[in-house]
A and B are shown apart, each in its own frame.
Chain A
Amino acid sequence: MAKSYHKLILSYALCCFSALFGIQAEADVIEFSVDELAAETVLPVFEPSVSVRDRIVAKSGRFELGLGGGISLNEPFYNPQNLVGNLTYHMTEVHGINLSYTHWLDGLSSYGTQLRAGQGFPAFDPSLAPSPESLIALNYQNTAYYGKISLTKQTVMNLSIYGLAGLGAVGLSREGGYKIGAHAGVGQKVYFTPSLAFRFDLRFFAYRGPDPTTLDLDPALPPPPPDSFGQDFFFNTLLNLGLVYIL
């Protein structure tokens, strides 16, 4: 009933158009009826209930390349600054595989420098011990949240929050070789464009390796062999910033 009625009206509306054309007026001031504005907090029913369609940032089946830098938050002796590179393949919008490479810059931290100079303590040169100089990790990445944020009336940026976990190999300086370690982290990306995003992440890696404090590292003596150090468990925290580009 309603259908055929509508069909008639469709024709009617079309026929009336010619007559009405030119009579349209006013309406430069927008008046949204309050009745028409959102009042319900419930969601429409769709099966399955997908929170977003036609994503601006579509990652599924695409590679993502990232570059950035950061610091180790709990590194006492060595230069905490590092450079990071990431390559991620997104199997779906949620699941991905991430390969990350972190390279620490040479040198000592300010505390390490003071220790080497013997300020207040007997001189202790951490640079004579094997220290982490790179970390390569293969991770599973899960994008748990995709949303958007509006900072100004016309500016909306998409964002995502992800977690990652995997295994990695920590490369040690002074021929210390590689140590297997666990790697995990959480992060957030804020997209400037559908392909380009600012990446911020907090990562943790743990490994068992040589402990510089198990030997007296006198700056005047040659470096001891790597296997002469006692072994200990290290838990490092990395804070990184960077840019990612979806290829």
Chain B
Amino acid sequence: MNRGHLGKLLLILMMCPVAAFASAEQELSQVLAQTQRGNPQGRQAPMGQDVLAQALRLAQAGNYKDSSILLFQLSYSPRFRSRRNQIRYILGLNLFQMNLNQVAAFQFISVVREGESRYLRQALEKLSLAADNLGDDTLLNYALGRVRVDDFPRIHRDMLSYRIGEFQLRNNQFVEAAQSFSRVQRTSPLFAKAKYLQGVALTQANQLPQALRSFEDLFDSRRAFGPTDPSRVAAQMGIARVYYQQRNWARAIDTYRSVPRDTEAWHDTLFESSWAMLRSGRFRSALSNFHSLHSSYYEDFFIPESLLLRSIVYLYICKYEEMEKVLNLFNQIYRPVYNQIDRLLDSGADPTAFFNDMVRIIRDKKTQGEEGSSGSYQIPYLVGRRILREGDFQTSYNYITRLLEESRRVSQMPADWREAAIGQYAQRILQTRIARARERAGRQVRAHLESIKLELFDLFEQEGFIRYEMISGKRQAIQKRIAGRDLPQTQIDQATRRDYYIQNGFEYWPFRGEYWLDEIGNYHYVGTQSCD
């Protein structure tokens, strides 16, 4: 292959429209096939161009490992400066095929940074796919900020619309986000997530009827997946929350109640439906929920507000003794939590230390379940559990997990690849990215700790007001007692015979202090109010 002919080949390579293929492998094959078709005589090329031709042949044969070694060398060769974008793009495709998304993404970024080139559009598209696989917000934002939807292959447009919607939702562009989510096709695997987030965006935009329709659409689309399907349950939660926003307490309560008990979301319904019950004046029902919610099954859940809410319900029914116990419990649990967070934030600990502590919590939770709380962490365990549920931390954590997996794949590559320049480059990139991602996740943890500290501070203030009302209520109760106008202390079920329950097809078990898993959610408050 002589120089003139390779030049022709490369011209073909540069000019060939890289169509929107389902996979980079197909695309790479087509690019390389066209390259070979342009060289029917197989004429000789000078040394460096020989290497390029060899790299392309290797890639076409599916030998991405050896091809990437050669392409990486060429990408730094001054001789190929004018074709650097091309080489980097193909190198990126090779690495993408090797499931080294982060290293591939860096090649695509290099192409994008060079500015306008024939490979810009393709590089952006592939960068979006690599970023999607990694779940890295920063990369996604970088790619999505530059990509044009119409240029994007139709097959990946759902992903693009979904990611754009996520980006807009994060930036409080709720209406735009809802529109982006609505573009995700019903047949897409992302449809359920998109439909849910569309409902969330519409709720945030205060377009409640539209939000309701969106959640109902999601619910209907998941009927075939069974009652515990997470997307179906998420739709139910969304519907209940919209009804709550619409102040339709009864329907909100009914919808919360329709969430199956054997799902993670059911725990949230206990607290959220209690709000609806309080606001609709169903104090007994709210107290019934609190009995479950404040059982030792929930001792590692961060739910300070629920204790204050319970105390307010007691305030409404003049149960001051109970109210005081609940307020004391609130202080007993959350005062040390607040102090611990305060000390931790003041200590000026390194963000990575916050992240490492979270990793320990995650690890212990996985291996020991709820018993993981026995460990001593810098971050209070129940606060750590709350942060685990935060979307930004979850994204960062998943990204770090994928980087670690990629790093593991790199270390499992054959020695010749690892010791080659590309191998060392890949390891360096991954180590740097992992360190930075950990630092970023640590900063997110810190931000959440600050936010939780503020939230607790605010709740302590509320607690002070509630305590004031309690004292005031107690004073009035004493005045009534002196005047002989207080109500007798009775339990509502005292006059009801056991037969009553059996005849109605239910069992009655008085509560004696121990909590049974099959009773959680089935407790009923049977006390009476102490004031008229």
Contact = CB atoms under 8 A, between A and B. Distances in A.
Contact of A56 (B315, B476, B512): B512
A213 B514 CA distance: 56
Contacts of A42: 260-262
B370 A45 contact: no
A21 interface: yes
Interface in A48-66: 48-56
Given A21-B531, A43-B520, A54-B295, 15 more contacts: A7-B305, A24-B317, A24-B318, A24-B532, A35-B257, A36-B288, A40-B260, A42-B262, A43-B518, A45-B263, A48-B371, A50-B370, A53-B296, A153-B501, A156-B510
A56 B296 CA distance: 13
Interface in B163-199: none
26 contacts: A1-B204, A6-B275, A11-B462, A14-B465, A14-B469, A17-B312, A17-B315, A17-B316, A22-B532, A24-B318, A27-B529, A30-B284, A30-B493, A32-B524, A35-B257, A43-B261, A45-B262, A50-B517, A52-B517, A53-B296, A54-B296, A54-B515, A55-B514, A56-B514, A148-B516, A153-B497
Given A44-B262, A44-B267, A56-B514, A30 B492 contact: yes
A13 interface: yes
B521 A44 contact: yes
A49 B262 contact: no
Interface in B325-380: 365, 369-371
> 6 nearest interchain CB pairs?
A153-B498, A48-B369, A42-B262, A47-B369, A30-B492, A53-B296
Contacts, number: 145
B241 interface: yes
Contacts of A49: 517
Nearest to B451: A3
Interface of B: 203-204, 241, 245, 254, 257, 260-264, 266-267, 272, 275, 278-279, 284-285, 288, 295-297, 305, 308-309, 312, 315-318, 365, 369-371, 455, 458, 462, 465-466, 469, 473, 476, 492-493, 496-498, 501, 506-510, 512-518, 520-522, 524, 526, 528-529, 531-532
Contacts of A10: 305, 308-309, 312, 462
A150 B529 CA distance: 28
The prevalent SS among residues of B at the interface is: helix
A24 B296 CA distance: 32
A38 interface: yes
Contacts of A221: none
A37 B58 CA distance: 68
A47 B365 contact: yes
B253 to A, nearest CB: 8
Given A13-B312, A38-B522, A54-B515, A43 B317 contact: no
Interface residues of A, number: 49
Interface of A: 1-3, 5-7, 9-11, 13-14, 17-18, 20-22, 24-25, 27-28, 30, 32-33, 35-38, 40, 42-56, 148, 150, 152-154, 156
Contact of A53 (B241, B295, B462): B295
Contact of A54 (B267, B316, B510, B514): B514
Contacts of B370: 46-48, 50
A27 B316 CA distance: 13
Contact of B458 (A2, A7, A45, A56): A7
A28 B513 contact: no
Given A14-B465, A53-B297, A44 B512 contact: no
The prevalent SS among residues of A at the interface is: loop
Contact of B513 (A6, A17, A24, A54): A54
Contacts of B498: 152-153
A201 to B, nearest CB: 24
Given A30-B492, A40-B260, A44-B262, A52 B204 contact: no
Contacts of A150: 507-509
A25 B532 contact: yes
Contacts of A152: 498
A38 B517 CA distance: 13
Contact of A30 (B262, B263, B308, B496): B496
Contacts of B514: 52-56
B493 A20 contact: no
A154 B510 CA distance: 6
Given A38-B506, A46-B297, A22 B531 contact: yes
B159 to A, nearest CB: 26
B366 to A, nearest CB: 9
Nearest to B522: A38
Contacts of B254: 35
A178 B172 CA distance: 84
